[in-house]
Amino acid sequence: MIKVIIIEDELPAQRLLKETLQEINFETNVIGCLNSIKSAVEWFQNNPHPHIVLLDIQLSDGLSFEIFKQVKVESAIIFTTAYDEYAIQAFKVNSIDYLLKPVEKDELRSAFEKYHNYNKKYIQEQNSNIDFSELASLIKGEKTEYRKRFLIHSNESFFHLPVEDIALFYSMRGVTFAVTFEKREYPVNFSLENLKDHLQPDNFFKLNRQFIVNIDAIKRVHAYFNGKLKIEMQPSHSEDIIIGKDKAASFKRWLDR
């Protein structure tokens, strides 16, 4: 049984994490839900540490990195965060997992699989070597430089494709394609998962494992069954573009920025 605590100051997010934990193929026991730096520090000082901590970055009383300045946490840390640039890159380097809100079931399962594949001692050593002050400064730091164009190879020549000309990206059989507003398609040398970190998040949204869309290409959004959404694109795409129930809320927030 994997013991877990959730440190998250939004009750709906706490409930969603609990529900998602019940859906993955791991036996977990949520032994605590905390909502602040102060309550987390007190809890770690007075209780045996769990196997895994699901930790939000932005808590009601500050950045959660403050916890690690006040107490040594002997647990694997999985960040659940809305921050998706410098901090994420830093977490990757330091071998700490992260999940973007809203947390998806497959990604949470993958994080727990990663925990099983790591030696517990190794995870603790990695956690102790991280400069959380540096991570906090990265989050507060300057804006990321996102991609402005892609180099496209065509037969024996090549040219640059401006990002603003791209309506959507999609993945098929392991190849990622950029589709322009003029419905021209070009392969790009990125996986869809890696690609989203290079695109301006105000303009592009990863809908699912197959599609990233430009907000200017979204013509209309239709309600679909079981809480899903169906995207009507301009230009149109040959396949139905569906957003799952677990991402529908974050997609609506993105549209309403």
Give tens-digit pLDDT for 140-199: 555 567 889 999 987 778 999 999 999 999 998 889 999 999 999 999 988 888 888 789
3-state SS record for 207-218 = CCCCEEEEHHHE
pLDDT of residue 136: 64
**How close are the terminal C-alpha atoms of the chain, in Å?**
41
CB 185 within 8 A of CB 169: no
User: Is domain 149-255 given the CATH code 2.40.50.1020 in the classification?
Assistant: yes
Domain ranges of the chain: 2-140, 149-255
The Cα 251–Cα 116 span in angstroms is: 31
pLDDT of residue 119: 57
pLDDT of residue 213: 96
Q: Which two tokens stand for residue 246?
A: 């677990």
Mean pLDDT of 87-102: 61
Sign of CA dihedral 53, 58, 61, 62: positive
Q: Among candidates 253, 197, 220, which has minimal Cα distance to 83? A: 197
pLDDT beyond 50 at 118: yes
Residue 179 β-bridge partners:
168, 185
Residue 135: pLDDT band (50, 70, 90) is: low
Residue bearing tokens 């037969």: 155
pLDDT of residue 245: 84
Q: Which two tokens stand for residue 121?
A: 């001692």
Helices assigned H by DSSP within the chain: 11-23, 37-46, 66-70, 86-93, 105-117, 120-128, 132-140, 192-195, 245-255
Using one digit for the tens of pLDDT, what is the confidence trace for 42-76?
Answer: 999 999 999 999 998 888 888 888 888 888 888 88
Look up the CATH number of domain 2-140. Answer: 3.40.50.2300
Residue 129: pLDDT band (50, 70, 90) is: low
pLDDT of residue 86: 47
Q: What is the mean pLDDT of the chain?
A: 84
CB 15 within 8 A of CB 39: no
